[in-house]
Amino acid sequence: MKVTRRTALAIVAGGIASTGIAAAGISSLSDEDLVRVTLERYFGPLNMRIEHLQQFVLEFRNRNPWIFPNGKLASAVTVAETVKLGEARQLLPRQKRRDLRHFDRWVIAEFHMLTDYAWRSSPNDPIRFTGWHPCANPFANLEPQDA
């Protein structure tokens, strides 16, 4: 098979176009995408409407603005988790892996506190954002204890 100059240019142009499309796709990833793939990594597919996810992410970001990884790392993790390359995290430097584990733990903890995930009557029930609810236990002792 002989490759002509026209074929070679078409291949190069296709490669450049696909790289541009991939870059545009990565830059359009949002915080909701990162949070969703993180939660799905631990809990499986989420039965949660986008409005509830957006409310959760907004509240999570307002409560913990320093927890989110930087834009490039967040995009890379979102893409890797989306295409099921979760083991790609092992290729990151130790501090980045630690930051991602810290982010994962905060997302999971806040997810349990700000949604009805744990209180649903069936795993098939949709997950709803409920917001922050203070402790309603009348017998709770919230005073610091002297040791």
pLDDT tens string 45-87: 989 999 999 999 999 988 888 888 877 777 777 777 777 766 7
Instruction: Report the mean per-residue pLDDT for the chain.
Output: 79
Is residue 141 included in any domain, yes or no? no
Q: What is the dihedral of CA 130, 132, 135, 141, to 10 degrees?
A: 160
Best CA proximity match to 43, nearest among 127, 132, 121: 127
Domain containing 44: what range?
30-119
Is residue 137 included in any domain, yes or no? no
Is residue 16 included in any domain, yes or no? no
> Would you state the structure tokens that stand for residue 119, as one six-digit string?
């209180």
Is residue 125 included in any domain, yes or no? no
Quote the number of domains for the chain. 1
Is residue 136 included in any domain, yes or no? no
Alpha carbon distance 119, 121 (integer Å): 6
Mean per-residue pLDDT for 126-141?
79
Is residue 132 included in any domain, yes or no? no
DSSP single-letter state for residue 70 = P
Is residue 124 included in any domain, yes or no? no
